[in-house]
Amino acid sequence: MDEGLRSELRKQGILTTTLEELYNWGRKNSVWPLGFGLACCAIEMIATSMARWDLARFGAEVFRPSPRQADLMIVAGTVTKKMAPQVVRLYNQMPEPKYVIAMGACAISGGPFKQGYNVLKGIDRYIPVDVHIPGCPPRPEALLHAFMTLQRQIDEQALTGAARPRHLHADAPSEFNVPEYGAHDLEPSSNAEVWRPPSVGEEGALAKTA
Amino acid sequence: MNNVEAAKGYHLMTGSNPYLLIILLIAGALVFALTPLAIAWIWSRKFSPPKPGATKNAIYECGLESKGDAWIQFKSEYYLYAIMFLIFDVEAVFLLPFAVAFGGLPVGGAIAMMVFVLLLVEGLAWAWQKGVLKWG
């Protein structure tokens, strides 16, 4: 429908919608997060779900103890290399459509432990992340902002056409590779399907050498 | 409108069978309950297709790999615990009304109750002699 006509109708008190919008509106207001925290960011996540910040206002207070009932994974905290396979496995066990918020400096990049031998330098090396939140730890307001960003993303998801989400592509894989413990590092050290090393300096120079 | 006319109108509405209205209500209730389920099912077939996989179908759901089988067997010796529980549990259930009504109970009732309690005591004696009451 034409946007101009739509806003004109809206002014006359006539609300128009599509099935897709209705569906996304329902979906974005009932996101069930997986109840799982990895480090100190989880404390902020818990605070967000409690009375003072009240994540329930966004319909997302139902933290599920099982990945099979969850839509959203909030990776709250440091992902150690020992923990990474479990995180990926949990993500794989969640039903589609599913979303990931990487919360805090550790989850997005390794944070203050980036130089550590046992810390994964960002969970986006293995699973697709929808919203990144910086901060150490991010305040509950930051998580709420990330959540509202995710709601906007869900709202804009088209159900048909080439831009439809992954789970509606019949040939797209439903699971992501679970890394294994190698002699010195996780193997593989990242999933090329979801993450490519950022190129430094000349465009593509690193990609050539890698 | 008096009652006779109202009854006539009711009969006109439901036809000859007085149960027709109930059948109609049941049909309406079924449609009301099943339509949303059907719509949700059709919608999920189209926009939320199942995507099973090895990890997704694993029995364990805490992120660790499943080890062994979910179909483990319990020891059959647990029947001893069940019997012991039954002796004391059933006895307590019957002893309470027995104690409340004890004052006004005829001799026959008291004897029947004693037989019942002695039967249970026999079960306890059997378990005792079998060594079930020894723990650890």
Residue A108 placed within a domain? yes
DSSP A119: B
Q: Identify which has the larger pLDDT, B104 or B12.
A: B104
Write out the H or E segment, with its range, that includes residue B127.
Answer: helix B107-130
Q: Is the pLDDT at B13 greater than 60, yes or no?
A: no
pTM of the model: 0.73
Q: B45 and B82 in one domain?
A: no
A72-93 pLDDT, tens digit each? 999 999 999 999 999 999 999 9
Residue B102 placed within a domain? yes
Across the interface, do B55 and A67 touch by the CB < 8 Å criterion?
Answer: no
Q: B95 and B31 in one domain?
A: no
Gap between the Cα atoms of B12 and B21, Å rounded: 11
Per-residue model confidence (pLDDT) at position A193: 84
* Interface probe with A: pick from B55, B59, B64, B65, most Cβ of A within 10 Å: B55
Across the interface, do B63 and A170 touch by the CB < 8 Å criterion?
Answer: no
Q: Identify which has the larger pLDDT, A173 or A125.
A: A125
Q: B82 and B100 in one domain?
A: yes
CATH number, domain at A203?
3.40.50.12280
Q: B30 and B57 in one domain?
A: yes
Q: Which residues of A touch B52 (CB under 8 A)?
A: 174
Using alpha carbons, list the distances in angstroms from residue B91 to A79, B82, B101: 57, 14, 16
Using alpha carbons, list the distances in angstroms from residue B63 to A40, A63, A67, B48, B55: 20, 17, 9, 23, 9
In total, how many domains does chain B have? Answer: 2
A104-125 pLDDT, tens digit each? 999 999 999 999 899 999 999 9
Which residues of B sit within 8 Å Cβ distance of A? 43, 47-49, 51-56, 58, 61-65
Q: Which of A57, A68, A82 shows the shortest CA–CA distance to A35?
A: A68
Q: Which residues of A touch B55 (CB under 8 A)?
A: 89, 92-93, 175, 178
Q: Is the pLDDT at B14 greater than 60, yes or no?
A: no
Per-residue model confidence (pLDDT) at position A207: 53
Binned at pLDDT 50, 70 and 90, residue A8 comes out as very high
